[in-house]
Structures are given as C-alpha cells and as structure tokens.
C-alpha cells in the first residue's frame, strides 16, 4: 500500500427504490458471529479460571497480554502516583463525571411505590442495589476511561456495595492512570488486571483474590461476550449480565439541510472504533451534489486520521442508502435498530417521536455522537446488533432490583379471599386455597 496515493475511502451505495426486499433485508443484517468456534475457545479458559483461580488468571494474562503479574488485583485505596494526571485531563474527566452523575442520579427514583388495589389490599414496590458488580473496561486498540465512567457512575449512584473494575493491564503490568482515577472516583474497591474471557470468569466465579460478583456489565470483544453468556447460562455461577454485545454501530439520517463536513465526521468517529464497526448513512432525497460533498468529506477527513488503516476497512463495509422521504428513512432505521442514531435533518426534534428502536439518539447538527460517548451525561454502553429492539443501554436501573411487598388487612383478605380460593381451586392447588380458607374461617367466625 502506497501511503502517498491512497485509494478513495468510500461507502457502498444503494437506492431503496432499486433494491428488492431480499437486499433490504440483507442490509438490515449484522455480520454473522460464529459463536460456536468462539464458545469452544472460551469454555476451557473459563473452566481453568474457575478451577485454578489466580494461577490461571496470571497464566492467561502472561499468554494473551504478555504481562507477568505477581498478583492480578490492586485494592483501594489506590496510590496517588498510579492515578496522577495532568490538570487538563483531570478537569475533563471531572466535568464528564459531573454530567454523567447528574443524569444518572436523576434516573433513580428512591421513593416507594404504594398502590391500594382494593380497600385493605396494599401493594408496594421499592428498589435495592445489586450488592456486588463487576465492570468490564476493554483494552484493545484504545484506552477507555470513558467506559469506566459510564459503568462506574450508575453503579455508584445505585449504591452497589462492591464495585470491581476489570481491565487488561498495560505492558508494564499497571493500569492506565485515567482508568484508575475514575475507579477511585466511583469508589471501586478493586481493579482486576485482566481482560478477555479470563477476567469475566474471575468475576463470575471468584478466585483467591477476586470476589465473586452478582452482575457483570460492560462491552467487550467476542470472547468477552461469549464468556458473559456462558457464565449467565451456568446456574452455579448465579450471575446476570447487562446485555449481549456486538461491534459498535451508527446510523445517520441526513437530508439536504445537513452539513456534509459534520455528517462525514460523525460517520468516521464510529468507523474508527474497529474494522468491524457498522456505519450506515440514510440520505433523504439528497441531491447528487450534496451526496458527492458528503462522500468527498468522508474520503478527505478519513485520509487525515491517525487510525486511517482501521477506517479503510470499516468504511467500505458500510453503506449509504438513498430514500425518498423521512418516512422511509425512519422505517429503515427502526427496522435496523441502531446503537446510535444521529438526525442531520431539518427540524430534527420533530422526528424523535417517530423513533421506535435505537440505543441513543443525537438530535441535530450540533449533537455529535462524541458528546454522548464522553461527557454530555447519557450512557455510551448501549445495545448493538439489533438488540436495541428489546434492550436499554446501561443506566441506573441496571444496578438495581425492584422488590415488591403487600399488606392485607383482615377486611382486605375477607374481600379478596374468595377470588383467590376460586383460582386456587381451578389450578387444583388445595394448599393454596387452604392458606386463605383457614384465615377466612376465623374471620367469619369472629
Ligand atoms: N462509541 C463507543 C463508546 C466510546 N467512544 C468510547 C469513544 N470511547 C460505543 O458506544
Ligand atoms: Zn465512540
């Protein structure tokens, strides 16, 4: 590859009016993940960590991350030197923290819900934090203090007692100071210096130095996701996860009022995440000139990026779909159910009502996804792969469970009892009927 004369970096192009329903369906699909192969590779790793604990964790970290650790865990309080940052970085993290904290704290309704469904029959609901949570912060091609914020803040707001952050160590066996600083701010008790399936196994089953957690959250590669699924399906692990995860994705809807430079910059911000990033642009009756401007901006901006080699792979796998109106655009977007949706359209906020499926929405020219990725307040751990149809992104409720309660008075039981007895009879469950009957008998003979 000659860096002086690079090939044009461009997305594939289709017109909705020219493709058949099979093609439309294939455009809605994500690349198939060969989960059997991955499961087969992950299973022995998970079993090893489960059986051999820290020793296996240290061994896999040496093998995969090429780091020889003495102990896989650092415990709070973390040393100030290990989380020392320059002022500009620290202020940026602090501002992001404050916004994310504000938005997630507002999501927490601490009141008890009380409803008297019938006189003397009072039902209530209250929430409690999940006690111990494991937060996975990927390593890979970028360091991610932002993901530490996005997982740690809702866990802290919810009141989780033990927060353990897992992240692959750097080559010298330390954690990135930015990640450690955030771990400190959210009150994490431990940082597990491991990544991949081995980190997930340690959190799910516990080791000598890693406490077993109740829920594991956070994005990760296919091995991390497979290990989360394995643990979730193993009743002896007794663990839940946030959601299944696939490669990050973005769908942009743009019309002729959009600013080509902005549209291209947003598409590229997603495309630089990884070679498997999914990027879709829906053009709403774009003029040929407007479309050409967007395409030129994509190529020019991409060519200047330090991660141009990643973008060179992800952009050609992505596509532009030209449609005739906003209705068609919205229909496609809802069917695709993107992780991120950006509206580069006239009167963008008017279209928010029409959104049925999306992880997070960015409304109008001045709302780049980057703001949500880092610092505006919304979470960036979002459902991918079409799971935005039925999953929400990570939020404060992710770290809470709801407990219901009821209290019946004597009169309440008297009034409801016959209904319960009849239903128990219908189900042939005599002991159920009797639990009401013994009481009603007393009440009626009072
Ligand atoms: N867009 C990513 C999150 C992220 N971006 C982290 C930058 N750092 C997935 O939502
Ligand atoms: Zn991002």
- Residues tagged active-site: 339-340
pLDDT at position 7 over 90: no
**Token pair belonging to 407:** 């209290």
* Nearest ligand 1 atom to alpha carbon 219: 9
Residue to mutate (ligand 1; options 273, 340, 361, 393; most atoms within 8 A of CB):
273
Q: Is 333 in the pocket of ligand 1 (CB under 6 A)?
A: no
Q: Give CA 63 to chain center in angstroms.
A: 28
Which tokens in the block code for residue 49?
A: 């960590």
pLDDT at 317 > cutoff 90: yes
pLDDT of residue 49: 98
Whether 213 contacts 197, CB under 8 Å: no
Q: Give tens-digit pLDDT for 42-58.
A: 999 999 999 999 999 99
Identify the pLDDT of residue 1.
Answer: 47
Q: Is 338 in the pocket of ligand 1 (CB under 6 A)?
A: no
Q: 81 CA to middle of ligand 2, Å?
A: 29
**Helix 177-185 and helix 87-106: axis angle, to 10°?**
40
Residue 367 is encoded by which pair of tokens?
């709302």
pTM, full prediction: 0.96
Range in 138-142, 165-169, 216-220, 262-266 with the lowest mean pLDDT: 138-142
Please choose from 143, 147, 265, 385 the residue to mutate so as to test ligand 1's pocket, defined by most ligand atoms within 8 A of CB. 147
396 Cβ contact partners less than 8 Å away, ≥ 6 residues apart: 104, 105, 107, 108, 154, 157, 158
- State the Rg of the chain over Cα: 26
**Residue 4, pLDDT score:** 55
Decide: 144 in ligand 1 pocket, CB within 6 A.
Answer: yes
Task: Tell the residue nearest (CA) to atom 3 of ligand 1.
Answer: 373
- Structural tokens at position 317: 């796998």
Angle between helices 222-233 and 35-52 (to 10 degrees): 70
Q: Which band of pLDDT confidence, cut at 50, 70 and 90, is reported for residue 257?
A: very high
d(CA 208, CA 210): 6
Which residue has the CA at smallest separation from atom 10 of ligand 1?
A: 380
Burial class for 172, CB neighbours closer than 10 Å (0-12, 13-18, 19+): exposed
Estimate to the nearest angstrom the gap between the alpha carbon of 288 and the chain centroid. 37
pLDDT band, very low/low/confident/very high, at 6 (cuts 50, 70, 90):
low
Calculate mean pLDDT across residues 23-37: 91
The string of pLDDT tens digits covering residues 318-331 is 999 999 999 999 99
Residues whose CB is less than 8 angstroms from the CB of residue 220 and which lie 6 or more positions away in sequence, other chains included: 136, 138, 195, 196, 200, 228, 245
Q: How many CB atoms lie within 10 A of CB 398?
A: 23
Q: What is the pLDDT of residue 3?
A: 52
Band of pLDDT at residue 245, cut at 50, 70 and 90:
confident
**Residue 425's CB: how many other CB atoms inside 10 A?**
12
Q: Which of 140-154, 276-290, 331-345 has the lowest mean pLDDT?
A: 140-154
* 373 Cβ inside 6 Å of ligand 1: yes
Q: What is the mean pLDDT of residues 356-385?
A: 98
Q: Give the whole-number percent of the chain exceeding pLDDT 70.
A: 99
**Res 5 pLDDT > 80:** no
Give the tens place of pLDDT for each residue, 172-208.
999 999 999 999 999 999 999 999 999 999 999 999 9
131-165 tens-digit pLDDT = 999 999 998 777 789 999 999 999 999 999 999 99
Instruction: From 217, 178, 210, 205, select the one nearest 193 (Cα to Cα).
Output: 210
30, pLDDT greater than 80: yes
Percent of the chain topping pLDDT 90: 94
Strands 400-408, 121-129: pairing is: antiparallel
Query: Is the distance from CB of 181 to CB of 83 less than 8 angstroms?
Result: yes
């Amino acid at each position: 590859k000659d860096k002086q004369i690079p090939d044009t970096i461009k997305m594939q192009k289709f017109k909705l009016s020219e493709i058949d329903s099979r093609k439309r369906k294939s455009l809605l699909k994500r690349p198939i993940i060969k989960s059997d192969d991955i499961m087969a590779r992950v299973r022995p790793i998970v079993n090893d960590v489960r059986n051999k604990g820290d020793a296996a964790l240290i061994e896999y970290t040496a093998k995969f991350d090429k780091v020889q650790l003495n102990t896989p865990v650092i415990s709070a309080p973390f040393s100030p030197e290990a989380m020392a940052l320059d002022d500009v970085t620290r202020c940026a993290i602090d501002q992001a923290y404050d916004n994310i904290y504000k938005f997630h704290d507002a999501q927490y309704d601490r009141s008890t819900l009380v409803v008297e469904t019938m006189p003397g029959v009072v039902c209530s609901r209250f929430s409690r934090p999940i006690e111990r949570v494991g937060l996975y912060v990927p390593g890979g091609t970028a360091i991610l203090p932002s993901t530490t914020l996005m997982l740690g803040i809702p866990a802290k707001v919810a009141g989780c007692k033990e927060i353990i952050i897992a992240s692959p160590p750097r080559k010298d066996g330390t954690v990135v100071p930015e990640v450690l600083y955030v771990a400190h701010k959210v009150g994490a008790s431990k940082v597990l210096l491991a990544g991949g399936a081995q980190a997930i196994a340690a959190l799910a089953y516990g080791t000598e130095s890693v406490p077993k957690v109740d829920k594991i959250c956070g994005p990760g590669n296919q091995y991390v996701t497979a290990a989360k699924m394995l643990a979730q399906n193993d009743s002896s692990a007794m663990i839940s996860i946030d959601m299944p995860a696939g490669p990050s994705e973005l769908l942009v809807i743009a019309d002729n009022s959009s600013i080509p430079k902005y549209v291209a910059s947003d598409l590229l911000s997603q495309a630089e995440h990884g070679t498997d990033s999914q990027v879709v642009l829906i053009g709403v009756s774009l003029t040929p000139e407007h479309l050409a401007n967007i395409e030129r901006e994509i190529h020019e901006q991409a060519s200047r990026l330090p991660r141009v080699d990643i973008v060179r792979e992800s952009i050609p796998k992505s596509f532009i779909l030209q449609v005739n109106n906003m209705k068609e655009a919205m229909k496609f977007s809802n069917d695709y159910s993107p992780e991120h949706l950006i509206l580069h359209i006239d009167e963008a906020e008017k279209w928010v009502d029409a959104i049925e499926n999306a992880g997070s929405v960015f409304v109008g020219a001045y709302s780049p996804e980057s703001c949500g990725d880092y610092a505006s307040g919304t979470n960036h751990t979002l459902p991918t792969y079409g799971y935005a149809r039925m999953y929400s992104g990570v939020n404060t409720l992710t770290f809470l469970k709801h407990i219901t309660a009821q209290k019946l008075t004597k009169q309440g039981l008297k009034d409801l009892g016959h209904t319960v007895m009849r239903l128990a009879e219908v189900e042939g469950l005599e002991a159920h009927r009797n639990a009401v009957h013994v009481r009603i008998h007393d009440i009626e003979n009072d």
